[in-house]
Amino acid sequence: MNISPHHLPRFFKAINTELDSNADEIIGLDQAIGDGDHLTNLQRGLKAVQKIEVELSEMNWSDALMKIGMTLMSTMGGASGSLFGSFFLAMSKAAKGKTMDAQHLAAMFDAGVSSVKQRGKADIGEKTMLDSLIPACESLKQDVATNQDLAVTVANLKQAAEKGMLSTEAMVATKGRASFLGERARGHLDAGARTSQLIISVIADEVIHIQNEN
Ligand code: ADP
Ligand code: MG
């Protein structure tokens, strides 16, 4: 894998475009079972990291991920701000002194997901972003462990995230604002699961584009 922090602006731009094109859906989801601010929170955080993207692209992975996490934490707000923030801070810790190969990336992602679980005191099946993150991470770890081809790994990862995201529709929430609604939360996708899945999916696509250019 030939991914470096120099690619960060590309990732941010792709994420931005993806969130914009799904804006109405995302806002609608958080309005239905939350307070409707999830997309705005996310876009505020993304804008703040895009502001410093040149600086970030000159850093090593660990420092860049740390700065991204701190920036998200201080700008996003909402439950998701501290959760996304701690995801990147944990990735940063795991990236210290490491090159970005598939093994290390899987271990970093795993560290990020574990820290979201810890901070949110949540796990799979609670109708949160973790329902996209955990299956995606498990798929990635499994394919990396079996030395699966990159294109297959990415396709499986995207599929696992999407399946996990879709599974939130039938769930009642036991964490976050939606948990106050009890049974009324059933029948709606979780906004954070949807945005996490969209972000995973565009990053995965971008990684493939970058590999194909080399
Ligand atoms: P808020 O709920 O404070 O308005 P956001 O709207 O930005 O924050 O984010 C809501 C999303 O955060 C939810 O859709 C859910 O995916 C995620 N979330 C909320 N609480 C938790 C938690 N304890 N663990 C994991 N994710 C959570
Ligand atoms: Mg909200």
Tell me if 173 sits within 8 A of 190, measured CB to CB.
Answer: yes
Instruction: Please tell me the predicted confidence (pLDDT) of residue 77.
Output: 87
| pLDDT tens-digit readout, 99-116 | 889 999 999 999 999 999
Q: Which domains does the chain have, with CATH numbers?
A: 5-213 (1.25.40.340)
Contact residues for 153 (Cβ-Cβ < 8 A; gap 6+): 102, 140, 143, 144
Measured from the CB, is residue 133 less than 6 Å from ligand 1?
A: no
* Its pTM surpasses 0.85: yes
pLDDT of residue 1: 74
Q: Residue 74: what pLDDT?
A: 96
Q: pLDDT tens digits for 116-162?
A: 999 999 999 999 999 999 999 999 999 999 999 999 999 999 999 99
pLDDT of amino acid 120: 97
Question: Could you read off the pLDDT tens digit of each residue along the chain, which spans 214 residues?
Answer: 789 999 999 999 999 999 999 999 999 999 999 999 999 999 999 999 999 999 999 999 999 999 999 999 999 988 999 999 999 999 999 999 998 899 999 999 999 999 999 999 999 999 999 999 999 999 999 999 999 999 999 999 999 999 999 999 999 999 999 999 999 999 999 999 999 999 999 999 999 999 999 7
Closest approach atom of ligand 1 to CA 76: 7
**Ligand 1, atom 9: nearest CA belongs to which residue?**
80
| Residue 122 Cα: closest atom of ligand 1 | 24
Rounded distance from Cα 42 to ligand 2 centre (Å)? 10
